[in-house]
């Protein structure tokens, strides 16, 4: 088991998995048990997670890609974040690095659509964790769920299992709830595709750096 600092530095968004190499259930349960230790306001533990694999995942993948191929780009329940100024610059730099590794030019509309479609193929991952919370909760509880997601991904990384958090799943909340038999009162926050990395996938060469600490942190003494 790697040390904590090593695990944090090793975790990154992986966009290409070995589809025929599922993660042993025992390892998934270990990671989920650790994630259950995540902090939450008043210890309400608000995350509600559906882990999808096998034929169920194939059906969900098929429905989502069919919707996209048919020109349906979804209808998210929550506003999609708009990045401006310095945040926009980082978003563009991240996208440019990814598309460069994939060999997709800026003017390649078809290539960019294929790249978008990969999100709904879950990058060939054998498992998907669908992360939700009760519709009645707001930003504060979403913060708790975000801490669960990070803890879960770090627990996976420590076991040699890579992941990709995917806000793209929010584009099709009704379809996901219907396909997975999830109650309407659950609000879809993200998906986490997970499995063993396929290093032969070009997108996995993507490396996005981090800003210097002073960009994000200030001290007041």
Q: What is the rounded average pLDDT of the residues 113-136?
A: 97
pLDDT band at 81 (very low <50, low <70, confident <90, very high): confident
The pLDDT tens digits for 6-58 are 999 999 999 999 999 999 999 999 999 999 999 999 999 999 999 999 999 99
State how far the Cα of 12 lies from the Cα of 15, in Å rounded to an integer: 10
pLDDT more than 90, % of the chain: 95
Q: Name the residue with higher pLDDT: 2 or 25.
A: 25
SS (H, E, C) 128-192: EEEEEEECCCCHHHHHHHHHHHHHHHHHHHHCCCEEEEEHHHHHCHHHHHHHHCCCCCEEEEEEE
Is residue 90's pLDDT more than 80?
yes
Q: Residue 3 in 3-state DSSP?
A: coil
Q: What is the rounded average pLDDT of the residues 84-104?
A: 93
Is residue 195's pLDDT more than 80?
yes
166 touches 149 (CB < 8 A): no
pLDDT at residue 78, rounded to an integer? 87
Is residue 139's pLDDT more than 80?
yes
pTM given for the model: 0.95
Q: What is the rounded average pLDDT of the residues 122-133?
A: 98
The pLDDT tens digits for 162-192 are 999 999 999 999 999 999 999 999 999 999 9
The pLDDT tens digits for 144-162 are 999 999 999 999 999 999 9
Closest by alpha carbon to 153, among 44, 46, 80, 49? 49
pLDDT at residue 1, rounded to an integer? 62
pLDDT at residue 106, rounded to an integer? 86
């Amino acid at each position: 088991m790697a040390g904590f600092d090593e695990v944090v530095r090793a975790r990154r968004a992986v966009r290409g998995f070995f589809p025929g190499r599922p993660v042993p259930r025992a390892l998934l349960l270990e990671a989920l048990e650790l994630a259950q230790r995540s902090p939450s306001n008043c210890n309400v533990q608000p995350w509600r997670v559906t882990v999808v694999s096998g034929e169920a995942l194939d059906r969900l993948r098929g429905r989502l890609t069919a919707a996209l191929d048919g020109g349906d780009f979804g209808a998210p329940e929550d506003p999609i974040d708009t990045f401006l100024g310095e945040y926009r610059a980082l978003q563009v730099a991240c996208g440019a690095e990814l598309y460069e590794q994939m060999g997709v030019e800026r003017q390649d509309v078809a290539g960019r659509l294929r790249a978008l479609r990969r999100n709904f193929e879950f990058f060939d991952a054998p498992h998907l964790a669908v992360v939700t919370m009760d519709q009645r909760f707001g930003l504060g509880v979403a913060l708790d769920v975000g801490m669960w997601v990070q803890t879960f991904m770090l627990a996976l990384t420590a076991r040699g299992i890579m992941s990709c958090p995917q806000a793209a799943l929010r584009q099709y909340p009704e379809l996901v709830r219907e396909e997975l038999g999830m109650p309407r009162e659950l609000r879809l926050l993200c998906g986490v595709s997970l499995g063993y990395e396929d290093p032969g996938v070009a997108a996995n060469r993507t490396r996005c750096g981090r800003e210097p600490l002073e960009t994000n942190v200030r001290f007041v003494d």
